[in-house]
């Protein structure tokens, strides 16, 4: 079938300089597939200021359903995990978190904020945990509200490794793959403090840490989550094992790529055995430094990690990659909006046969383009979800996006959290 003649207008985005550029990228993308579509770029009927987001017959759009293992998502707009610091001092989720997540239930899938698997692994003020019964009960209210609002939600399982400040654990040193120290500061209950030296996990301790992942995964299912996402990204414990500037071990968990992947493999196989592969996802962040964690050869390491994960038949793989600019953006401790490493995701795509979720710096137009090119199966959005609880609707209808307030990102209250309204344009 000649796809060029089957381009269908789905919706529009605001026509700005960026929008025009996006339109050209979509055209270029489709031409790349050998299908000219110039005549099909009609303006959205409701506005002179819109260009269309396109649906190409046979290629998925953001608004097509998708199965992530056992999870049936009505669209391919995933809410990326966002730490927001609204749990209580005992890391128990609070009622306002249920309100906040339920407001965002139109996402195809919500990935929870990073959630501590153990006291040892959690070093962020008012971040939630999943290691005790009170935390499970607190999360149950959240998942009930999300389900009642028609949504689906997985829990992101987090061990921060060397990024835990000792003040969270009675002065105990944080643990990591190796005895290393990150330069930089972290949030504590007493304000920002310099990170302190970590100690290497003894090989005999690894089963205990893996068991903490298992307990947290079982607790997540008991708390009503539809699944879990193993957080292996962003410079936290699993990433500290994966990459060679933070993993200096000489035992079977260090050295070769196969050895550095071993901890991720152990965690994944244990969590899969506990809750089932079809409700387990994994998040990786292959390009650029993250909290001082970096690798000399990410183009070999991460496709190998993806191939290992492929063997489990996971619900999905979630890859965060900042756009390649040739220059690393180190604001906030890691690769954020720009990376000096060319994208690894295409190689990961070739190594992992399950659904691939891509992340970082997407807008609706670029997300549509990436899906249309078959580079990913779904796209996750982080910051855009903060001030736009109805983000899928706004993307679909080309409605303006609200900006979030930086000052209230991590403050422990409703303000700047659950008080961002739905689009007034949509309501009108």
Q: Residue 207: count other Cβ atoms within 10 Å of its Cβ.
A: 11
Q: Which residue's CB atom is positioned nearest to ligand FMN?
A: 382
| Interface positions, 218-257, toward ligand FMN (CB under 6 A) | 231, 233-234
CA–CA gap between residue 30 and residue 89 (Å, rounded): 51
381 binds ligand FMN (CB under 6 A): yes
Nearest partner of 85 among 97, 72, 73, judged by Cα: 97
Backbone angles phi, psi at 70, to 5 degrees: -85, -5
What is the spatial distance between Cα 197 and Cα 215, in angstroms, rounded to a whole number? 27
For 290, which DSSP code? Answer: B
- Distance in angstroms (rounded) separating the CA atoms of residues 416 and 406: 9
Answer for which of 383, 387, 401, 405 binds ligand FMN (CB under 6 A) is 383
Q: Which residues are registered as beta bridge partners of 188?
A: 191
3-state secondary structure of 82: coil
User: Which residue in 72, 83, 76, 47 sits closest to 61, CA to CA?
Assistant: 76
Part in contact with ligand FMN (CB under 6 A); list of ranges 33-41, 81-89, 211-219, 388-396? 81-89
For ligand FMN, the binding residue among 196, 310, 361, 375 (CB under 6 A) is: 361
363 forms part of the interface with ligand FMN (CB under 6 A): no
Under 8 Å between Cβ of 268 and 282: yes
Task: Give min distance, CB of 360 to ligand FMN, in A.
Answer: 4
For the CB of residue 226, give the shortest distance to ligand FMN in the complex, in Å.
18
**What is the nearest approach in angstroms of ligand FMN to the Cβ of residue 201?**
21
Q: Which of 114, 237, 264, 306 binds ligand FMN (CB under 6 A)?
A: 114
Q: According to the binding rule CB under 6 A, does residue 186 interact with ligand FMN?
A: no
Catalytic residue, from 213, 236, 253, 417: name it. 236
User: x/- string (CB under 6 A) for ligand FMN, residues 386-425?
Assistant: -----------------------x----------------
Rounded Cα gap, residues 282 and 354, in angstroms: 11
Among 94, 360, 368, 423, binds ligand FMN (CB under 6 A): 360
C-alpha 248/C-alpha 244 separation (Å) is 7
For the record, the structure tokens of 172 come out as 């105990």
Smallest gap, in angstroms, from Cβ of residue 84 to ligand FMN? 7
Count, residues near ligand FMN per rule CB under 6 A: 21
For ligand FMN, the closer CB: 7 or 158: 158
For residue 316, indicate whether it is catalytic. no
Cα–Cα distance measured from residue 25 to residue 28, given in angstroms and rounded to the nearest whole number: 5
As annotated, the active-site residues are 236
| Binding residues for ligand FMN (CB under 6 A) | 80-83, 113-114, 156, 231, 233-234, 283, 320, 359-362, 381-384, 409
């Amino acid at each position: 079938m000649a796809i060029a003649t089957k381009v269908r207008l789905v919706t529009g985005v605001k026509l700005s300089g960026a929008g025009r550029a996006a339109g050209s990228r979509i055209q270029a993308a489709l031409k790349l597939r050998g299908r000219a579509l110039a005549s099909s770029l009609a303006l959205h009927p409701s506005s002179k200021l819109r260009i269309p987001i396109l649906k190409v017959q046979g290629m998925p759009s953001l608004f097509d359903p998708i199965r992530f293992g056992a999870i049936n998502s009505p669209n391919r707009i995933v809410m990326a995990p966002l730490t927001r610091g609204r749990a209580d001092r005992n890391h128990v989720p609070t009622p306002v978190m249920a309100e906040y997540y339920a407001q965002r239930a139109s996402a195809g899938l919500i990935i929870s904020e990073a959630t501590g698997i153990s006291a040892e692994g959690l070093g962020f003020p008012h971040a939630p945990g999943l290691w005790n019964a009170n935390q499970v009960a607190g999360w149950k209210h959240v998942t009930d509200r999300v389900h009642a609002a028609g949504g689906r939600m997985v829990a992101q399982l987090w061990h921060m490794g060397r990024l835990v400040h000792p003040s969270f654990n009675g002065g105990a040193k944080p643990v990591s793959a190796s005895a290393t120290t990150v330069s930089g500061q972290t949030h504590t209950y007493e304000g920002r403090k310099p990170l302190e030296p970590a100690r290497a996990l003894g090989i005999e301790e690894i089963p205990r840490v893996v068991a903490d992942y298992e307990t947290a995964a079982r607790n997540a299912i008991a708390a009503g989550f539809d699944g879990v996402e193993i957080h292996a990204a962003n410079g936290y414990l699993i990433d500290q094992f994966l990459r060679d500037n933070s993993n200096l071990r000489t035992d079977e968990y260090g050295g070769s790529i196969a050895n550095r992947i071993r901890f991720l493999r152990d965690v994944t196989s244990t969590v899969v055995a506990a809750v089932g592969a079809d409700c387990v996802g994994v998040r990786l962040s292959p390009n650029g430094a993250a909290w001082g964690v970096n690798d000399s050869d990410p183009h070999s390491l991460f496709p190998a990690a993806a191939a290992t994960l492929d063997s489990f038949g996971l619900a999905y793989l979630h890859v965060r990659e900042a756009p390649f600019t040739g220059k690393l953006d180190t604001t906030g401790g890691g690769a954020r909006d720009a990376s000096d490493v060319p994208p690894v995701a295409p190689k990961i795509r070739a190594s992992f046969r399950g659904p691939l979720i891509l992340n970082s710096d997407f807008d609706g137009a670029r997300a549509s383009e990436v899906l249309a090119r078959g580079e990913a199966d779904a796209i996750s959005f982080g910051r855009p979800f903060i001030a736009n609880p109805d983000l899928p609707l706004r993307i679909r209808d080309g409605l303006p996006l609200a900006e979030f307030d930086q000052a209230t990102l991590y403050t422990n209250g409703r303000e700047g959290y659950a008080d961002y309204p739905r689009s007034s344009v949509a309501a009108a």
